[in-house]
Structure 1
Amino acid sequence: MLALSACTVGPDYRRPQYPTPPAFRGQEGPAAAPSVADLVWWRVFEDETLQQLIRTALRENYDLRVAAARILESRGQLAIARSFQFPEVNHFGSATYQRIEGPRDPLQPQEQFSPIAGFNLGFELDFWGRFRRATEAARADLLATEAARQFVISTLVTDVASAYFQLRSLDGELEVSQRTLAARQDSLRLVSLRERGGVAGLIDVRQAEILVSQAAEAVVETQRQIEQTENAISVLLGRNPDAVPRGRPLLQQITLPEVPPGVPSSLFERRPDIRQAEAQLAAATARIGVAKADFYPRVFLSGAAAGGGLLIDGRWVGPQGLFTIGPQVSMPIFNSGRTQAGVDSAEARAQQALAQYQQTIQQAFREVADALVEQRKRREFRVQQQALVTSAADTSRLADIRYKGGVSSYLEVLDSERQLFDAELGLVRSNRDELLAVVRLYRALGGGWQEERTAAAQGQPQEPGKR
């Protein structure tokens, strides 16, 4: 009996082997260097406003609350699956009253009352590990749900940081647009004076007016984008659309000179989506055993104990007792291949989960490689953009001098101002893109959620009845 009870059909889960490269593509420095993913990465930027926004999101975001509630659901499902491994005891009771109207028959009682109460027991002996495999699958489902919540945390923090840097970039673009608008309005006044004095033509005035209108349009468009970005951040914070506080200007945000990604094999433990896919594979593997157990006999043990009595015409007869216990065996003989089809279906789902797990790993390596090259090239691009702004500013200054000196037409000033405006906007955006590249690299490496758990735990929903 002990040997039979220890039998568990179906395959045991083992982590599949996956070829891991010695280093990430595009990685600079030794692969064995500690990963920056070990840091609470948003603190690297030293922007207290950003940190406060992230803490608020981890407490109030509704997607995170949904993910936390799903964990509670998975815990309940695990408890249900585990309960089938133990006996089930129920209480029952009944009472029957009967009265016969009409002529009295001395041999037939007129009234009788029969109460009965007792307990019954039901237990399926888990000889083949059906319930153990089901519990194993439910436990893996719980791990997958917990990993899914950690993935929501990682995505949420990344989204808040990205939206915040986008907002600060738009603030910078608005500042450039407003400064450009003021400068072009001054130029328009100067050109108008020159036109009235006969030094400049009407076409110069119209070109200056075009520049003013373009700058004014840029101001209005940027203001629209700022409000919409604030609305998006507010929703991430679990709030209605409202203004968002600002911290450090974009150009004052601190970035790491180099972001060490660490060892590629660390992704298996760091990335929540990989751990979720692996847990789903483990659950699918365990359910193969549940399906295979249907090939074998099912042994039930049932019993009951009850006591009662009988009251006949006011006279108590009893007490009476009842006790039963016995086994019941059910074994499949013919069901048109339904059992084998169930096994085939479970194995196919496990194959799907395996392919999904391998694809998730492959996608993770690609995201890290993409993020590494983006972070490196964005830094190089920002340096080039800074040089472009310097050259464009100098060109604009010289063009203005040449125009005022009568050496060139206003068209040269027009072109130089447009180039400077575009270059300054490009510099603001290149700084934003460099910061976003760092954020994406942190997310690709799977970092940050370990430290986020403490803050996020404050946002978990309470179990029903505990509010």
Structure 2
Amino acid sequence: MYKRFIYQCLGVAFLTLVLSACAVPVKLVEKNANKYTPERFNNSAQDSTNTAKIKWKDYFQDPNLANLIETALKNNQELNITLKEIEIAQNEISARKGEYLPFVRLGGGAGADKVSRYTSQGAADEMSEIKPGKKTPPVLPEAYFGATASWEVDIWHKLRNARKVAIANYLATIEGRNFQVTNLVAEIANSYYELLALDNQLETIRKNIEILNSALGIIKQEKEAAKVTELAVRRFEAEVFKTQSLQYEIQQKITETENRINFLVGRFPQKVERSSQQFNELIPAGIQAGIPSQLLQNRPDIRQAELKLEAAKLDISVARANFYPSLGLSAFVGISAFNPLLLANIPQALVTSLAGDLAGPLINKKAIIATYKNASAKQIQAVYVYERTVLNAYIEVTNQLANIGNLEKNYAMKSNQVDALTKSTNISLRLFTSARADYMEVLLTQRDVLESRMELIETRMKQLNAVVNTYRALGGGWN
């Protein structure tokens, strides 16, 4: 009869908990992630051949650049920091896994209790004897040693889903590192090409100084022959000084660019090995953009956003499970006695216990409701982040493809301009010596030639940077 009453009480308690758990807030409407991208980039052909599949070691043929990238992947501090974040995320998986496995502790202790004689236990001790002829003393010592086990039964897969969240975050951290690698490779390549361009601009300035000095000598001769005034000599000298000052600006930019590369490589300032002589012969590599849907697999930032979205979905399942009752089991196996010398007397000193508890939220569930709403809001937020990342990737590729085409045409026009101005320099000098042109025409022509050559070098650098940026935008460089 007594057992039946206990069972009935447990049944009522379980039913109450289940009914209270059913009052879970309505799940917020989720916005489906828009994973569909346009069929092609602008007017490009729909071809699945993709440059992003090429490994960076095969893509960058310059051995000096390849050495810089390889060193950076080993020594770059940001990458090393991220590696530790990956290690932390991996440890989090182990911690989450341990939460749904049984906990077992081994230990012992000793103490003493004095029980009131006016209690049921005290009255029983008054009437009992420890051994024949010896009553139970008022203060009774106790020593014990044994193993305690506790386990929360993961009925609603709350703990398992929490482990899946940790796994998704771990994989997202790896993709975050891959995205860092992609950006690092692109940044080093762009800085390297900028350094080559600066070297060539410096060489162009030095050659132009020689030409200006030669023209200055002609102007001085013309002045001695009274064909020009002192004004012409001074204007040409000023132009020489101006061009000479320009070379120091370029030298400062070279120093800063070298040190930026050294920082990315993870080393103190030193000379960056490079081959600047072949800069004008560098031809930007061809780009095969593939199809936009390949960005979903090739871009690490998109893969990271997708994993974060998956983790956010699982977080909702974990938050919903907090509304349901949890079942816990506990057990103890050991030995206990009032005298430590009696602990070895088995089975008399053997102690065992087994208990279970079922508990769930009933009143004042504001905290878990707020946790659930936050998880729902973060999931929708993750959807927007994913969509924004996909859109940004598509626009980046589109912009860079257009940039490559426009820079190619720009370089052709700049090259024609340099050729025309170079020819006009010789013509202006001949006309000046034959008194058929003013010295200002010679001066302005020399200035225009220098500017156009500097712009031509800069345009070539922009072409190389556009190819690198397109390679990065397509998701290349991390594999």
Task: Give the alignment's TM-score, normalised by structure 2.
Answer: 0.85
For 1:61-86, what per-residue CA distance to the aligned partner results, in whole angstroms no more than 9, with x for missing partners? 11111111111111011111121121
Counterpart contact for 1:309–1:318, Cα < 8 Å: no
- With over 3 angstroms needed to count, the CA separation of the structure-2 counterparts of 1:379 and 1:90, relative to structure 1, is same
Q: In the alignment, which residue of structure 2 is the partner of 1:321?
A: 350
**Corresponding residue for residue 70 of structure 1:** 85
Residue type at the aligned position of 1:344:
K
User: Which shows bigger deviation, 39-48 or 133-142?
Assistant: 39-48
Find the counterpart in structure 1 of residue 188 from structure 2. 160
| Aligned mate of 1:371, from 383, 390, 400 | 400
Match of 2:452 among 423, 427, 441: 423
Structure 2 residue aligned with 1:402: 431
Distance in 2 between residues matched to 1:368 and 1:179, nearest whole Å: 39
The answer (yes or no) to whether the contact 1:50–1:247 under 8 Å persists in 2 is no
Q: What secondary structure sits across from 2:219 in the alignment?
A: helix
In the alignment, is residue 261 of structure 1 matched against residue 278 of structure 2? no
**What whole-Å deviation, never above 9, does each CA across 1:159-194 have from its counterpart, x for those lacking one?**
000000000010011000111112212222332232
Aligned CA distance change for structure 1 residues 15 and 226 (closer, same or farther; 3 Å):
same
Instruction: Kindly provide the amino acid, as one letter, of the partner of residue 350 in structure 2.
Output: G
The yes-or-no answer on 1:80 pairing with 2:108 is: no
| Partner Cα separation in structure 2 for residue 366 and residue 188 of structure 1 | 52
Of the structure 1 ranges 112-121 and 210-219, higher mean CA displacement relative to structure 2 is found in 112-121
**Does the Cα contact within 8 Å between 1:308 and 1:318 map onto a contact in 2?**
no
1:26 Cα deviation after fit: 4.3
Pairs within 5 Å for 1:291-330: 291-311=319-339, 316=342, 319=345, 320-330=349-359
For 2:255, the equivalent position in structure 1 comes to 227
What is the distance in 2 between the residues matched to 1:172 and 1:45?
20
Establish whether residue 52 from structure 1 lines up as the match of residue 67 from structure 2: yes
Q: CA deviation at 1:316?
A: 5.0
Q: Could you say what secondary structure the match of 1:260 adopts?
A: coil
TM-score using structure 1 length: 0.87
**Alignment partners' CA distance in 2, 1:426 and 1:317:** 93
2:262 aligned with 1:247: no
| Whole-Å separation in 2 of the counterparts to 1:213 and 1:168 | 25
Which SS does the other structure have where 1:191 is aligned?
helix
Mark the CA change 1:42 to 1:436 in structure 2 (over 3 Å): closer, same or farther: farther
Q: Look up the match of 2:42.
A: 25
Preserved CA contact (<8 Å) 2:165 2:311: yes
* 1:361–1:178 Cα change, 3 Å: same
Deviation of residue 408 (structure 1)?
Answer: 1.2
Find the aligned partners of 1:14 and 1:143 in 2 and give their Cα distance.
Answer: 23
Q: C-alpha distance in 1, partners of 2:357/2:283?
A: 72
8 Å CA contact retained: 2:69, 2:185: yes
2:41 counterpart SS class: coil
Q: Which residue in 1 is equivalent to 2:119?
A: none
How far the C-alpha of 1:200 sits from its partner, in A, is 1.9
Could you say what the CA RMSD is over the residues aligned between the two structures, in angstroms? 2.5
Corresponding residue for residue 124 of structure 2: none
Identity of aligned residues (%): 28
Q: Is the 8 A contact 1:112 1:311 kept in 2?
A: no
2:102–2:151 Cα contact (<8 Å) kept: yes
Gap runs ≥5 in structure 2: 1-23, 114-133
Cα distance in 2 for partners of 1:18, 1:40 equals 26
Q: Secondary structure at the match of 2:322?
A: helix
Query: What amino acid sits opposite 2:459 in the alignment?
Result: S
Larger radius of gyration: 2
Counterpart of 2:76 (choices 41, 61, 73) is: 61
| 1:397 Cα deviation after fit | 1.2
Note if contact 1:22-1:263 (Cα within 8 Å) is conserved in structure 2: yes
For the 8 Å contact 2:150–2:329, the answer to whether it is kept is yes
- Structure-2 change in CA distance of 1:217 and 1:150 (3 Å): same
Q: Distance in 2 between matches of 1:437 and 1:356?
A: 26
**Deviation, structure 1 residue 318:** 6.0
Q: Distance in 1 between matches of 2:456 and 2:410?
A: 9
**d(CA) in 1 for partners of 2:343, 2:362:** 48
CA separation of 1:241 and 1:297: change in aligned 2, threshold 3 A: same
Distance apart, 1:332 and its partner CA:
0.4
SS at 2:384 equivalent: helix
8 Å contact 1:147–1:272 — kept in the other structure? yes
Contact 1:48 1:247 in 2 (8 A): no
Say which is worse superposed, 42-51 or 82-91, in terms of deviation: 42-51
* Deviations 1:195-228 (CA, angstroms, capped at 9, x unpaired): 2332221111111012101111110000000000
Q: Distance in 2 between matches of 1:385 and 1:136?
A: 57
